[in-house]
Amino acid sequence: MQVRDILTAHQVSVASEQEGVVRSKTDALRRLAALLAAGQPGVKADEIERVLGERERLQSTGVGSGVAIPHGAMEGVDRLIGAVLICPKPIDFDAIDGAPVSILVAVIGPKRATGEHLKTLARISRLLRDETFRRRLLGASTGRAAFELIAAEEGRSVS
């Protein structure tokens, strides 16, 4: 499963004046929860936000190089769902390297899909390891443009 398989263009957002600026980790988790809820009818954004927040309290999902991968598992979700938030103005996320975060990719899945969940997190990590790709992603002016960059990048990658 590729990252683009758990996303739609509607689940990718750029934190801009038009789409709403994100100023904090809390703002980012709230926006990601809303994007994730849009991909799973019947699951409430506030419940997703609670799950993501609980995971963050255990340990930050800020993996370094301006990237965070908030994730969690919950009842009522029938498949892996992803959301992407691009923050042109980086936010503090308590990342492992201490650097602020600009690219957030969130994943929520069913509790029973641990193996697929971990494989997806690894795929996201590999995709965002490429500094040139991260720069291109940060240059996207809309969620649709960022989604298209992800889909194109995965189309080129070999795995």
Show which residues are catalytic: 71
**Where are the alpha helices (H) located in the chain, listed in sequence order?**
25-38, 45-58, 114-128, 131-138, 143-156
The answer to whether 90 and 68 have CB atoms below 8 angstroms apart is: no
Q: Percent helix, strand, coil in the chain (nearest 5)? A: 45, 20, 35
Instruction: Please report, as a single letter, which amino acid is at residue 84.
Output: V
Structure tokens at 70: 């908030």
Rounded to whole angstroms, the Cα distance separating 140 from 158 reads 23
What gap in Å lies between CA 136 and CA 86, rounded to an integer?
11
Burial class (CB in 10 A: 0-12, 13-18, 19+), 59: exposed
